[in-house]
Amino acid sequence: MSEPRPDIRLPVSGYERLCDFLAIVGLAICVALPLYYAGDLPEKIPTHFGLDGAPDAWGDKNNLIALPIIGVLPCVILAIVRFVPVKYWNIPVRVTAENAERQYRLARDMVATLLALIPLAMAGLVWQLLEATKAERIGPGFYVALGVMLGATFTIVIGYMVLAHQRR
């Protein structure tokens, strides 16, 4: 059986506060955009687009409420994770008394970065989807926003794993 991880309570960093602020901005945009666009949209809107960008399913414009929920849900999960002591997180290297503070800070910074990225990227996706709903065709901006969100998420997680191994 391995030895228990050190129980270090790190103070909230300035970086984490900045990420929290950016997350709140992104979430506010996710909620505000559908409200802003709601009056300009027809009662029936595209709810799904094919690979060619043309709509292939239609629904009530009240379905737009799902967009902010999709943006908020991962943020709620990440915010809850931040309340769990870091010693219980799945860290990819062995945590010792010598490296605990460094490893815990890296892990918390990764979660903070994801917490900022997801709602900001989701706000871009929501905006692109609303524009596509008005145009009845999804444009390349949606795929760019989706690619940036997925690419950045994987880059952050992989970057964290590399840094965790380098800073053992």
How much of the chain exceeds pLDDT 90, in percent? 39
Rounded Cα gap, residues 28 and 30, in angstroms = 5
Q: How many CB atoms lie within 10 A of CB 165?
A: 10
51 alpha-carbon distance from chain centroid = 24
**Of 105, 103, 82, 96, nearest to 10 (Cα)?**
105
pTM listed for this prediction = 0.85
Encode pLDDT of 1-39 as tens digits: 467 888 888 999 999 999 999 999 999 998 999 888 888
Instruction: Provide the angle, in degrees to the nearest 10, between the axes of the packed helices 14-38 and 66-83.
Output: 160
